Structure 1
Amino acid sequence: MALIINDECINCDVCEPECPNGAISQGEEIYVIDPALCTECVGHHDLPQCIEVCPVDCIDKDPEHAESKDTLYQKYLKLTA
């Protein structure tokens, strides 16, 4: 499952540089996560790094982009090929 940033985001800029896939970018009002690039850090780290550094806990699983760990790992392999 990809991640999503909710409207509690304070635009603190700490999540964007932590994403190993470049999935996080500044949106119109808050940061956004591209579900096509988000692997929840599978293949890179044990835990999603954006969630680890977020000071306001505004990053959740995106129910519209449900993916298994295996699917996330396959996406990681394609992104890093």
Structure 2
Amino acid sequence: MNKLRQSLRRKKPTYVPEASRPHQWQADEEAVRKGKCNFPVRYLGLVEVEESRGMHVCEEAVKKLKVVSWTRTGSV
């Protein structure tokens, strides 16, 4: 009965913090050091912000850029 009970129990996966997984980022680190990284980006424009940190600041800036580009093109 005990074997049946143990076989039905699910083992929780153990959490391994990212700091303990350096092998995962080694290829990226080597590419950065060699200068062989590509980061394709699209220029949206520029907007002045009052704060220099935080995800909410970035989100608000993108919203402002979208409004500006929408009014410039006149798209609906």
TM-score, with length taken from structure 1: 0.19
Could you say which structure has the higher strand fraction? Answer: 1
TM-score where L is the length of structure 2 = 0.20
The higher radius of gyration belongs to 2
Structure with bigger helix share is 2
